[in-house]
């Protein structure tokens, strides 16, 4: 069972993340509006402050899409 206080903490953390990265949600909404389908490849690069980069990618499965849909529904309740 989920502790309601943990949920409130998570809500606050999400709001802080969203507010601290204002371009993230419009980007996520744009790709969700038609780019994310089974077989879509996410190609990610993470660069640290020294300029070192790590790159990886993954191809979405139907199970991944189900997770994204469930998370989106949860996020709607957090807003």
pLDDT tens, residue by residue, 4-27: 888 888 889 989 999 999 999 898
pLDDT digits (tens, 9 = 90+) for 20-72: 999 998 988 888 888 889 999 999 999 999 999 999 999 999 999 999 888 87
11 alpha carbon, distance to own chain's centre: 14
**Domain range annotation of the chain:** 4-78
Q: Annotate the chain with DSSP letters as a single string.
A: ---HHHHHHHHHHHHHHHHH-TTHHHHHHHHHTTT--TTPEEEEEEE-TTS-EEEEEEE--HHHHHHHHHHHHHHHHH-
User: Among all chains, which residue has been given the structure tokens 């507010």?
Assistant: 19
């Amino acid at each position: 069972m989920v502790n309601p206080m943990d949920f409130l903490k998570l809500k606050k953390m999400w709001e802080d993340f969203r507010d601290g990265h204002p371009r993230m949600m419009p980007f996520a909404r744009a790709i969700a509006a038609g780019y994310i389908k089974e077989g879509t490849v996410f190609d990610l690069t993470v660069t640290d402050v020294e300029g070192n980069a790590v790159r990886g990618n993954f191809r979405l499965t139907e199970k991944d899409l189900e997770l994204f849909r469930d998370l989106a529904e949860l996020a709607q309740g957090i807003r």
